[in-house]
Structure 1
Amino acid sequence: MTVLRERFEAAALPLAAVATLALLTLLFYYPVGRVLSEAVLREGRLTVEPLVAVLTDPFFFGVLAQAAENPSVLWTAFEPHRIGPIVVPFPDYRLGLFGFTAYQALLSTLASVALGLPGAYVLARFEFPGRKTVRSLTAVPFVMPSIMVAIGFIATFGANGFVNDALAALGLPRIELLYTLPIIVLAHAFYDAPLVARVTATAWESVDAGTAETARSLGASPRRAFLDVVLPQLLPAILTGALLTFIFSFMSFAIVLALGGLSLATVEVWVYHKVSQLDYATASALATLEMLFSLVLTYAYLRYEARQRAESAARPAPRKQLIGRLDLDRLVVWAYVAVALLVFVTPMASMIVESVTGPNGFTLDYYRFLVDRQATAASFQIKPLTAVQNSLLYGVASLVIAVPMGVLLAVVSTRDVPGSKLVDTLSMAPFAVSGVVVGLGLLRGLVFGTSAFGYRFTVTGAVAVVAAHAVGAYPFVTRNVAPLLATIDRSVVESARTLGASRFRVLLDIELPQVFVGVVAGAAFAFAISIGEFDSTVILASGSSAYTMPVAIERFLGRRLGPATAMGCVLLFVTAVSFLVIDRLGEGRGM
């Protein structure tokens, strides 16, 4: 028995790693490969015609597609534009779908950086009550459902939203922001500016105060010391945050779908539109090109991050108390705080207020609607309680898959063995592939069925939804666990191995207890991500009972804003409680 146990322990970890990679192949690489194959295969024949058709269509690539047939358009498509008294020629280029997607992502990145950098300065250089809590809240973009952000902005800037009601009360004209580019850019900034603030604040805190002091002692002004000494040290973090923001904004789906619709469609929205029209060939070609572009950007980010990663022994500058005598610094910071509260708090507050406000004031009618809907809705209609139950069930099922996968991939990626870097890169691929692409691949590959070994394999919509959620969630487990595994004293591990412990036993008895906090944090992220996942779910749940709370919100939004905000508040409550419960379960359990 002892010999069998030793053999099992010796083989357990390699077998688990192989099983994990096989599962990752089935749940991610096969569906994504299915999308790719449908873009380059016609009647079993390899061809690039579908991709070429998209690349040369001005609707998709604008002036670049036109230039493929007539390069002169690049220098002849100029129109006169007046700048004050001067008339200058300016390129009159049509961007096309891909160009517009990149353009709105660029504007969103600039807005996110402009809004996030002052926040980084406040977090890094000022001390105030609740600073750690505010810093923790910068992780919100990773767990807040994007469809809920869209609902919050509709409640704030819609025709009867908070802003227009306030303007009407002041006797000012109303503004129309819905289905415009500025509202999409602002919503993306809401989502991504905290990420920029988090990344940059960490870098700012690692800037050695001595370098700036030396520059000042040599006669540099505060402005010159900042530009010549501090800013170069912050620039890598700013660029990292900007690149991540661009990737997220380029692949944004729910926010653009709800706030822009088809009139301001990005590639993601158009892929979804083509899927709804059953035009899978065009959808696959568009998804493939978008995926290739995002993979290139993500690879550039990972390479850049790896070059910048280093331990810092810097002496940070002391933080200034935010609460005190009002000087210029504090005045500017308080002005930024006012803007931040308006941008970050108002949308969620507006959603909550809208859910209990009717034509005649306070009301619970929208919540009653959800209760009544559960009892009276037909089988083909959305039922709120069913959506809540599905979301929780899928969240738990996703954890069962995502946590072991994430932990095992973290173990492999932190080992100095051949292939570990390749495994790390392959395991992070879901970061670069949108949920829409994963959902399309699972729909075409597993839900519709695939033939192998003489059998037709199919899965239900619910199983496919869990698979998509697990694929989107496990990288967060890996990213939370891997850094902690890398800090474990290797001499302790080697001592245990010398005393006869198998690699599997060392992992269970020594390593996992020390990284338990990271496992729980990753699980909290994974569960919250599953609860709020919309991109893949809206494709996989179409025409079935596998819908979740985010899908229910999108469906209710097509009827009235009130029920959608009420469902959004339910989602907000469930997400917050779930995240806190899982996080509390891990308190005090780590070493």
Structure 2
Amino acid sequence: MSTPDRGRHRATTAAAERLERHALTLLALATGAVLLVVLYLPVAVVFRNAVIDGGSASLAAFTDVLTDPFYVGDLAGAFADPLAIPGHLASLWGWLTAISVSATVATVPGLGLPVPWLAVDTPGVRMGLFGFTAYQAALSTLASVALGLPAASVLARYDFRGRRTIRSLTILPFVLPGILVAVGFYATFGHAGTLNAVLGTVGLGPYPFIEWNPLAIVILAHAFYNAPLVARVTVAAWESVDVRAVETARSLGASRRRAFLDVVLPQLRPAILTGALLTFIFTFMTFPIVLALGGLQLATVEVWIYDRVSRLDFTEAATLAVLETVLSLALTYAYLRYESAQSGLSRAGASPPPREPLFPDWRRALSPRRLAIVGYGLLALVVFVGPLASLVLGGFTDGGGFTLRHYAFLLERQVEGQSFQTLPLPAIRNSLVFGAGTLLVAVPMGVVISVVTTRAGRGGTLVDALAMLPLAVSGIVFGIGLLEGLVFGIALPGGWRLQLTGGVAIVAAHAVAAYPFVTRNVSPLLSSLDPAMVESARALGASRVRALRDVELPLIASGVVAGAAFAFAISIGEFSSTVILASGSDAYTMPVAVERYLGRRSGPALAMGTVLLAVTAVSFVVVDRVGGRFER
């Protein structure tokens, strides 16, 4: 090799070494730039549009919302005249003392059977849009806790065949698209649903269950989503209860019930409150379930924002989005503070209670407590298995029995000249392509953020908090920001224009929604690695990137795979931002197609939902098999 060639070779090698030494820093900067453009910029656009009126800053839009009884109910008077708050509080106290719970009796049309309904009489109180959103979230939280706590009790206290499988299934709602759950409940309680089919075998029905009480169906659907969360959080607390304290209380004469109330329940209370608070946050920002089952009749803030966007009223939509985001961030902050306060109350060294067989013999199997467990199991079967089974069954049946015509619709509607605008196969293809694109973007971002947060010490906490913004901002808010910002285009100096359109914008939205779950699966594994292994590799001459690639990544591969499976499932099922970005384009996905079919052809909607369920189930199997951890 000649002298000039050796010089060029040394220069190239030195440049490569410098690049490798700074590769992690460059990757972190690139990830930060992507987050700045596709996350913080769209959110900033929403906030800007809410406070800019005619080119100047103004809070008029917020004043209009906060003083309108349609949005805040009777609180509008307090916002309009803050000095009169004492009078408003006195009136509110009078309303609260007048609230009564009464049982009324309604008659089922065409049958004459009395049906008791629990009614809450609130004379003179108007809740408004925000009040109703909080009201349905509170009812959903109560239903979720009521369904989740018995499941936690059974899983924590009893041993039976299939216990581990059932416990692992509590992660399933996290990878199920909300629109899929809505369609499942429609297939169960709809006019041609499974429940009416069962009643028809004894000559009853059909009855319009959803039309009679859509709020009850929505609350039940929310409980389907969140009761497993309550159960999962509470089981861990129940298994950490110190059995010695319970035995001491019993030896001092306390009954089983008194020992539970005085010893066990105080130890479970933090976990129950954590699950309830998380459920309230999730259901406060609910969108696809209410949109599909209730529509504007049960409009929450998210549904109303979507309606304003569809009417091109972006200022009002942005104002509502900002107020909702502020409330959700406040709730999230309250949850984090509460979780932090409880983190130091762990009971290390406690002796967990042993699990007893659920059905040891036929005499004990007939005890009232075990019969109650069987009854709860049947209820859980209806609530949790029924909607998914009805979804699959509805895709293969119609009024005349078994049929494949709904799936034939998915194939035959691809013919040119058909008037139906949402074609099934493009929806399936788009979902898979967008899911693959999401993996290519979200997985590297999630891994890089995990590395930065685990190595940055105290600064990593700030990075982690900033990177977790998608968990506190709803998909609707993010979709509005992307639409008004990057989709419409942002002018840059020098005549340049920053713009993302079509599938690229949807992949960006999905990646932003998915990468926190990659981080949540990878970070715990990175934190638990032995630093000595990395230091040994560095001492042997490996660069930081080489040590990450050859030592750390193989050890955290299960977390990366689990995070990737979560990211793919989230992309496949993402509805909130997609329904906004896909409006008026051919970039619609399976969840969007399901929602569009549901209002016209329920059979094809159920068939498409079954396909969506199959793809989501494969992702769930991957998550469960590799043992990925989920934190939220």
TM range (shorter): over 0.9
Cα distance per residue 1:446-471 (max 9 Å; x no partner): 11111112212222221111011111
The superposition leaves residues 531-567 of structure 1 with CA deviations (integer Å, 9 ceiling, x where unpaired) of 0110100000000011000000011111121111111
**1:515: Cα distance to partner?**
1.3
How far apart are the structure 2 equivalents of 1:84 and 1:48? Answer: 42
**1:512-523 aligned within 5 A:** 512-523=553-564
Mapped contact 2:446–2:519 kept (Cα < 8 A): yes
1:106 correspondence with 2:146:
no
Whether the aligned pair in 2 keeps the contact of 1:520 and 1:583 (CA below 8 Å) is no
- CA spacing shift, 1:582–1:340, aligned 2, 3 Å: closer
Partner of 2:473: 433
- In the other structure, the counterpart of 1:329 is 369
Quote the residue 2:304 is aligned against.
270
Using the alignment, how far apart are the partners of 2:451 and 2:245 within structure 1? 38
After superposition, the Cα gap between the structure-2 partners of 1:306 and 1:531, relative to the gap in structure 1 and judged at 3 Å, is same
d(CA) in 1 for partners of 2:619 and 2:524?
A: 24
Q: Which range is displaced more, 284-293 or 479-488?
A: 479-488
Change (3 A) 1:40 1:207: same
Name the Cα RMSD after superposition.
2.3
CA-CA distance at 1:172 after TM superposition: 4.5
C-alpha displacement at 1:282, in angstroms?
A: 0.4
1:282 corresponds to 2:323? no
Rounded to whole Å, the distance in 1 between the matches of 2:281 and 2:64 is 25
Q: 2:191 aligns with which of 153, 156, 159?
A: 159
Q: In 2 relative to 1, CA 355–69 (structure 1 residues): closer, same or farther, beyond 3 Å?
A: same
Q: Is the 8 A contact 2:102 2:121 kept in 1?
A: no
* Alignment-derived partner of residue 47 in structure 1: 58
Structure-1 residue corresponding to 2:33 = 22
What is the one-letter code of the residue matched to 2:422? Answer: I
Residue number in structure 2 paired with 1:470? 511
- How far off is 1:16 after superposition? 1.1
Compared CA separation, residues 545 and 211, structure 1 to 2 (3 A): same
Give secondary structure in 1 for the equivalent of 2:497: strand
What is the identity percentage for the equivalent residue pairs of Structure 1 and Structure 2? 60
2:356 is matched with which residue? Answer: 320
> 1:196 maps to what in 2?
230
Quote how far apart the aligned CAs of 1:296 are: 1.2
2 CA distance for matches of 1:452 and 1:258?
39
Three-state SS of the structure 1 residue aligned to 2:354 is coil
Query: Unaligned regions of 5+ residues in structure 1, if any?
Result: none
**Compared with structure 1, are the counterparts of its residues 82 and 391 closer, same or farther at alpha carbon in structure 2 (3 Å cutoff)?**
closer
* Residue correspondences, number: 585
1:216 to 250, 271, 291: 250
- With over 3 angstroms needed to count, the CA separation of the structure-2 counterparts of 1:2 and 1:216, relative to structure 1, is farther
> Structure 1 4/213 Cα, relative in aligned 2: closer, same or farther at 3 Å?
farther
The equivalences for 1:142-541 within 5 A come to 142-172=174-204, 175-179=207-211, 180-309=214-343, 312-325=348-361, 326=365, 327-376=367-416, 378=418, 381-453=421-493, 454-541=495-582
Q: Tell me if the contact between 1:524 and 1:583 (Cα under 8 Å) persists in the aligned partners.
A: no
Partners of 1:527 and 1:579 within 8 A in 2 = no
Return 98-107 or 573-582, whichever deviates more: 573-582
Task: Give the counterpart letter for 1:167 in structure 2.
Answer: L
Shift of 1:81: 7.2
- Shifted more, 67-76 versus 396-405: the winner is 67-76
Q: Is 2:175–2:566's contact at 8 Å kept on the other side of the alignment? A: yes
Kept after mapping to 1: 8 A contact 2:100/2:122: no
CA contact (8 A) 2:503 2:587 kept: yes
Secondary structure of the residue aligned to 1:419 is: helix
Choose 290-299 or 323-332, whichever is displaced more: 323-332
Q: 2:183·2:391 contact (CA, 8 Å) conserved in 1?
A: yes
* More displaced 10-residue stretch of structure 1: 168-177 or 139-148: 168-177
* Amino acid of the structure 1 residue aligned with 2:360: G
CA contact (8 A) 2:395 2:603 kept: yes
Aligned AA for 1:150?
A
Greater shift in the superposed pair: 503-512 or 430-439: 503-512
Distance 1:6 1:229 in 2: 61
User: Which one-letter code corresponds to 1:357 in the other structure?
Assistant: T
Cα offset for 1:26? Answer: 1.1
Is contact 1:152-1:348 (8 Å) kept? yes
Pairwise CA distance, 1:509: 2.1
Distance 1:8 1:337, change over 3 A: same
Inter-CA distance 208–490: structure 2 relative to 1 (3 Å threshold)? farther
The 2-side partners of 1:5 and 1:61 are apart by 61
For 1:304 and 1:207, how far apart are their aligned partners in 2?
20
Distance 2:622 2:407 in 1: 25
Question: C-alpha displacement at 1:124, in angstroms?
Answer: 1.1
Structure 1 residue 90: deviation in Å?
5.3
The alpha carbon displacement at 1:323 in A equals 3.1
Distance 2:144 2:620 in 1: 25
What is the Cα deviation at residue 234 of structure 1? Answer: 1.4
Residue aligning to 1:573: 614
**Which consecutive residues of structure 2, in runs of 5 or more, have no partner in the other structure?**
1-11, 104-119
Cα distance in 2, alignment partners of residues 104 and 562 from structure 1: 29
**Does 455-464 or 4-13 show the bigger shift?**
4-13
Distance 1:81 1:490, change over 3 A: closer
Matches of 2:122 and 2:388, distance apart in 1? 41
CA distance in 2, matches of 1:587, 1:51: 46
* TM-score between both structures, scaled by the size of structure 1: 0.94
Cα deviation code 1:412-451 (max 9, x no counterpart): 2223534211111111111111111111111110111111
Higher mean displacement: 548-557 or 13-22:
13-22
Residues 1:141 and 1:583: Cα distance change in structure 2 (over 3 Å): closer
Q: Partner amino acid for 1:18? A: L
More moved, 230-239 vs 259-268: 230-239
Change (3 A) 1:416 1:455: closer
Matched residues in 1 for 2:326 and 2:55: separation?
A: 22
TM-score (norm 2): 0.88
User: Are the equivalent residues in 1 in contact too, given 2:66–2:79 (CA < 8 A)?
Assistant: no
Q: Relative to 1, partners in 2 of residues 1:511 and 1:296: Cα closer, same or farther, differing over 3 Å?
A: same
How far 1:178 sits from its partner (Å)? 1.7
Q: Say if 1:535 and 1:82 are closer, same or farther in 2 by CA, change over 3 A.
A: closer
- Cα deviation for residue 69 of structure 1 reads 3.7
**Alpha-carbon distance in 1 for matches of 2:140, 2:121:** 27
- More displaced 10-residue stretch of structure 1: 265-274 or 515-524: 515-524
Deviates more, 1:314-323 or 1:68-77: 68-77
8 A Cα contact 1:63 1:74, kept in partner = no
8 Å CA contact 1:477–1:519 kept in 2: the answer is yes
Contact 2:99 2:123 in 1 (8 A): no
